[in-house]
Chain A
Amino acid sequence: MPHISLPDHLPGITGLLEFSQNTAAPIRELTQILLRGDNSLTQGERELIATVVSHNNECRFCTSAHTAAADLLLGESETCEMVKYDLDNAPVSDKMKALLTIAKMVQKSGKSVSPEAITNAKAQGATDIEIHDTVLIAALFCLYNRYVDGLASVTPDDSSFYQYLGERIVNHGYTRLPQGYDHLKNS
């Protein structure tokens, strides 16, 4: 049960964002620009960063939702699975491995990011903007993961829920649905 009173029909992050719509609006916008805006990292690559951080924070809700989104964007599920459990052998570029390594360091703490990891990412062709955005996305999910689990928001067990959510964040994105979420009551 959540630590505070949240709408029953909105598990995970959505109920929290509806509970506090004033704080939600700018962070939704930030997330939309970071994960969906123009970027030399693909949307799928950015979802991999979100997933690996959520996975290492053991946030089951965010991990499941962003795994579903990454799988939809990449058109297969092996890459995301490998990135979570065996990054060294995952079928991603050396540049992405270097950036995901930085993201995993950010998950631990800001100070954990080593100059060697940055040097390696640059050697693999990562630009300053790509390094910046990797750190920012990883840090942002350290926020979301703590927000969801720190208030014990509901984490559904049903995998079809995450499939639906993955489709929503791929097809609509991270901004509030224009019609709100009342249509999800009793569904």
Chain B
Amino acid sequence: MAYIKLPDNAAGMRGLMAFRPHLAPHLGAFTEGILCIEDGLTKAEREIIGTLVSKLNDCQLCEGVHGAVAACYLDDNEVLIEQIKEDYKKAPISDKLKALLNIATSVQKGGKYVSESQIQRARDLGATDIEIHDTVIIAATFCFFNRYLDGLGIDPIQDSEIFRQRGRMIAKGLGYAPKK
């Protein structure tokens, strides 16, 4: 049960957005700005970074929702998302994305864990400054949201169908910004 009294019938982030509604538009706009753009990294790649970091942070809610969004962008390929979470180095994804995920796993531990050689490896595989930047800020942002949810004891969601529904809603156009 959540550590604070949240509005009823609002699971996950929705309860927190309703608790401090003046913060919600900024949280939503920030999330959209890093996840809902196709510039360098695809939307699917952005969600994959978020999903992997959430798994490493053991945040069941974020792992579930963002894994579902990523699968939705990839023709419902849930198997691929599971493979990436299990061992991204062996998953059928590009070497460049593997190099970026490698950077993301270091960011998850702490900023100082990112090494020059990890960055060089990503560059050698074609990653641009913007892609490296976006990888780091997405990984850091999930370290933020994972802590926000779990730090307040927000209940997990057990029904994976709910993740699929939310994933579809987000991927098919609703995005993350609170809608009027």
Contact = CB atoms under 8 A, between A and B. Distances in A.
Interface of A: 3-5, 16, 19-20, 22-23, 25-27, 29-30, 33-34, 37, 57-59, 102, 105-106, 109-111, 113, 115, 118, 128-129, 131-133, 135-136, 138-140, 142-152
Chain A contact surface mostly = helix
Interface of B: 3-5, 16, 19-20, 22-23, 26-27, 29-30, 33-34, 57-59, 103, 106-107, 110-112, 114, 116, 119, 129-130, 132-133, 136-137, 139-141, 143-153
Contact of B30 (A27, A115, A118): A27
Most chain A beta carbons < 10 A, residue from B22, B33, B147, B152 = B147
A6 B173 CA distance: 33
Nearest to A119: B3
A105 B119 CA distance: 30
Contacts of B149: 110
A28 B110 CA distance: 22
A106 B20 CA distance: 19
A146 B34 CA distance: 15
B67 to A, nearest CB: 18
B173 to A, nearest CB: 20
B3 A118 contact: yes
Contacts of B4: 128, 131-132
A19 B143 CA distance: 21
Given A33-B26, A142-B140, 9 more contacts: A26-B29, A26-B33, A58-B110, A106-B151, A110-B59, A115-B153, A135-B151, A139-B148, A149-B111
Contacts, number: 140
B22 to A, nearest CB: 7
Given A4-B129, A128-B5, A109 B57 contact: yes
Contacts of A34: 23
Contacts of A23: 30, 33-34, 137
B105 to A, nearest CB: 11
A32 B73 CA distance: 34
A28 B72 CA distance: 31
B144 A19 contact: no
Given A5-B129, A110-B151, A152 B110 contact: no
Nearest to B142: A143
A142 B151 CA distance: 12
Nearest to B118: A3
B2 to A, nearest CB: 9
Contact of A22 (B23, B33, B139): B33
B133 to A, nearest CB: 5
Contact of A109 (B30, B58, B130, B152): B58
B144 A143 contact: yes
B119 A135 contact: no
A142 B26 CA distance: 18
A3 B144 contact: no
A29 B33 CA distance: 14
A91 to B, nearest CB: 26
B26 A30 contact: yes
Contact of B150 (A20, A110, A131, A151): A110
Given A110-B150, A113-B3, A4 B133 contact: yes
Contacts of B19: 128, 132
